[in-house]
Structure 1
Amino acid sequence: MATVPIPVAILTGFLGSGKTTLLNFLLKDPFLSDAAVIINEFGDVGIDHLLVERADENVIEMASGCLCCTIRGDLIDTIHDLLARRGRGEIKSFNRIVIETTGLADPAPVLHAVMSEPGLLAACRLEGVITVVDAFNGMATLDAHPEAVKQVAVADRIVLTKVDLLVGREGEDMLFAIIGRLRKLNPAARLLTTHRNEATAERLFTMGLFDPKTKTADVQTWLAAEAYETAEKRGRRSRRTHSHGHDHDHDHGHDHHHDVSRHDAHIRSFSFSEANAISPQGLELFLELLKSYHGANMLRMKGIVKVSDDPSRPVVLHGVQHVFHPPVRLPAWPDKDERTRLVFIVKDIEKPMIEGLFRAFTDQITGGADAFTDKTLSLNR
């Protein structure tokens, strides 16, 4: 077995987004020649021309070198089976796992499975989420389906497909509209298109937390906290502009047949930083309260945290709803910024609720255990 955890990437996207077409394209890329790909049904992926031999009814080896298998009822069982066969030398070794979800899937349960199964934690770690969006039909899909909104909100990479269908002035307006909406939903995700083969495997699967070439974490890229801060500031300026009693005509001659706020208004993202360290006990209690009060609506949380027992070695956090990956200690800070940095993508949660809760625990370092009072809990009721 490898001495470093195997990165696991989630490929998601709503029905008709072009996810399967993208997967077919990516499987031909040498970058994924040593990957294991878990898909829902072989019938969804046109890989017949790539087959070399059938290892058994569930695992096949393709001409590209990839292994491909179906989800046999339970995703965790499938991953365990792949790892066991790899360990016994029954199938070729692989250095990455790619999981394709169904088009209707809420990505959260798949993330839960990867992040919480004790038997997988030593061998695997979540690399990130790639979400495919249809540029032509994307606005209507986001209007109609909250699952599609969540798929975009939790993504580390967003791939726009069918851009070539957007022609003329109307097509240009549609492209600007969908890009603007995706940026508002997820300001930090890297946005790529399939146009002119821009969405290559290397661009999609180097998501920052783990670089296969160096075996180190690029936490700054992974967090992309600056993008959330910029989006927050832009949002505050926009709200101030529209709250000064100005009479704006919002018709502009456009046919607003979609209600942009139907689902999007409930999704928000923000980040904050803190120079003071938090105690290990405080961090544990903060995470427990976070899950208890906000778990159902916490779509994703990422962070690097200064802990008082060893401030020179920060802890990396990663959570999805009620499930958190076990905290991982880094050997040192990845950059000169030695502050805690936390990023949240949430539904119907205000930033002060979470920021106030966290700062109450950092105040304990200087204020003693009594600094955490019922007043802090009231922030989250």
Structure 2
Amino acid sequence: MTQDSRRPEPIPLTVLTGFLGAGKTTLLNRLLRDPALADTVVIVNEFGEIGLDHLLIERVDEDMILLGAGCLCCTVRGDLIATLEDLLRKRDNGRITPFRRVVIETTGLADPAPILHALIYHPYLVLRYRLQGVVTVVDAVNGQATLDAHPEALRQAAVADRIVLAKADLTGDTAPLRARLRALNPSAPVDPPDVAAETLLGGFFGLDGKGADVRAWLGAEAAQGAEHGHHHHDVNRHDASIRAFSLVSDVPVPRATFEMFLDLLRSGHGPKLLRLKGLVALADDPDRPVVVHGVQHVVHAPVTLPAWPDADRTSRLVLIVRDLDPAFVTRLWDAFLGRPRPDAPDAAALTDNPLAIPGG
């Protein structure tokens, strides 16, 4: 038996984020009561921030407790990577019950990018965990003011796969906030706080560890529509610099071409890539698409699906960028695919000097 054949399937992992006071703790308390989270490890910053008395069964050690819902709950002591590695050691050594998924609750002031970076870059963690999605909680009462005042809140909303709008019952018209969130991140559905755990935590893995609706995870159609006439911003708000759009191809993409495009984009503009995710048909194996996602200059090793999720075999990349002109990226994509336009950049020249790419 080869080493690869003995390697366990990666454990789906969801990041739960949102600004201070948004309602993450309330949402997490509800999720912990859901049977769908059995066999889940929930990583929190401190136990004291969450009312767990009604769920507590026993303390496993000073950093971990077993909950009545069948979940393990542990605190981050220092480095998140060290916490994730420690969980794997305890799991592999039989010191804790094997778990099927992980949920990480970030601090309210956290910029999600470094967390996502760690999850898709660390050479060991990428073999054992697979990022399933980012869920961001937004406060319906204070959301507009928070987005205005705090860049971290903008990034939390921009990189989300799903957004939960909390406290909507405490305010009146939420339409302006919803419109702003759609403009900021058109590919992310905006859910009520009572959304089912299966819906909220589903990603391209799904709660059962099998493939879910990848295209729903991408939300590519929404991102494409936003870029074609529906992406409006208040010019006085700094989230005008954050844009969401998608790149498409109706024909399979040569593997080397795709890799070169990603390398050029992330080497030239890595800090401006808040999030990238996609489903791509590669020319050497078009019947088995690859799922790719990344943050800033790090792109996760593509995951090959056994088959297309539906009859649509269009390759789609969804990008959320800051201070980067979507039109330029689209022209670069077209140039690499051999469908240049008069204003397209010279891909070959830019490959030799990626830092010369204009930022828009």
TM-score between both structures, scaled by the size of structure 2? 0.90
| 2:202 partner letter | T
Equivalent AA in structure 2 for residue 75 of structure 1: L
Which residue matches 1:247? none
Match of 1:350 among 312, 320, 325: 325
- Cα offset, 1:212, TM superposition: 3.5
Alpha-carbon spacing, 1:213–1:96, altered in 2? closer, same or farther (3 Å): closer
Asked whether the equivalents of residues 290 and 304 of structure 2 are also in contact (C-alpha less than 8 Å), the reply is yes
**Matched residue type, 2:151:** P
Matches within 5 A, 1:65-144: 65-144=70-149
| Residue 46 in structure 1 maps to residue 51 in structure 2 | yes
SS of match in other structure, 1:373: helix
CA shift for structure 1 position 372: 4.4
1:199 equivalent in structure 2: 195
Q: How does 1:1-381 map to 2 (within 5 A)?
A: 3-166=8-171, 171-172=172-173, 175-194=174-193, 198-207=194-203, 209-213=204-208, 215-235=210-230, 261-363=236-338, 372-374=347-349, 380-381=357-358
Asked if 2 retains the 8 angstrom alpha-carbon contact of 1:278 and 1:361, the reply is: no
Q: CA deviation at 1:2?
A: 8.7
Q: Is the 8 A contact 2:332 2:347 kept in 1?
A: no
Listed as ranges, the gaps of 5+ residues in structure 2 are 1-5, 340-345
Q: C-alpha separation between the residues in 1 aligned to 2:9 and 2:282?
A: 24
Secondary structure of 1:92 counterpart: coil
Pair 373,210 (structure 1): closer, same or farther in 2 beyond 3 Å: same
Question: Is the contact made by 2:133 and 2:202 (CA closer than 8 Å) also made in structure 1?
Answer: no
Q: Give CA-to-partner distance per residue, 1:141-199, whole Å, 9 cap, x none.
A: 00100110110111111111111211xxxx22xx11111111111112121122xxx22
Larger CA deviation: 342-351 vs 283-292: 283-292
* Inter-partner Cα distance in structure 2 for 1:278 and 1:225: 18
Contact 2:247 2:333 in 1 (8 A): no
Instruction: Indicate how the Cα distance of structure 1 residues 344 and 20 shifts in structure 2: closer, same or farther if over 3 A, else same.
Output: same
1:260: how far off? Answer: 6.7
C-alpha separation in 2, matches of 1:356 and 1:164: 44
8-17 vs 21-30, which moves further: 21-30
Closer/same/farther in 2, CA of residues 137 and 189 from structure 1, 3 Å limit: same
Summarize deviations over 1:124-147 as a string: whole Å, max 9, x none.
100001101110011110010011
Structure 1 residue 279: Cα displacement: 2.5
Deviations 1:202-224 (Å, cap 9, x if unpaired)?
221123x1124471242211111
- Partner Cα separation in structure 1 for residue 300 and residue 122 of structure 2: 9
Q: Name the amino acid aligned to 2:257.
A: G
Letter in 2 for 1:334: P
CA contact (8 A) 1:143 1:260 kept: no
Deviation at 1:98, TM superposition (A): 0.3
Provide the rounded CA distance (Å) in 1 between the counterparts of 2:107 and 2:287: 42
Q: How far did 1:361 drift?
A: 2.4
3-state DSSP of counterpart to 1:68 = strand
The alpha-carbon deviation at position 63 of structure 1 amounts to: 1.3
Tell me the distance in 2 between the aligned counterparts of 1:18 and 1:212.
23
SS in 2 for 1:118: coil
- Deviating more after overlay: 43-52 vs 21-30: 43-52
> Once the 2 structures are TM-superposed, how far is the Cα of residue 261 of structure 1 from its aligned partner?
3.7
TM-score using structure 1 length: 0.85
Deviates more, 1:57-66 or 1:40-49: 40-49
Is the contact between residue 42 and residue 73 of structure 2 (CA under 8 Å) also seen in structure 1? yes
Greater CA radius of gyration, 1 or 2? 1
Q: 1:300 to 1:6 in 2, by over 3 A?
A: same
After superposition, the Cα gap between the structure-2 partners of 1:72 and 1:326, relative to the gap in structure 1 and judged at 3 Å, is same
Aligned residues: 345
Aligned to 1:253: none
Tell me the distance in 2 between the aligned counterparts of 1:95 and 1:260: 45
CA contact (8 A) 1:276 1:362 kept: no
User: Over aligned residues, Cα RMSD in angstroms?
Assistant: 2.2
Aligned to 1:250: none
**Following TM superposition, where does structure 1 have runs of at least 4 consecutive aligned residues deviating by more than 6 angstroms?**
375-379
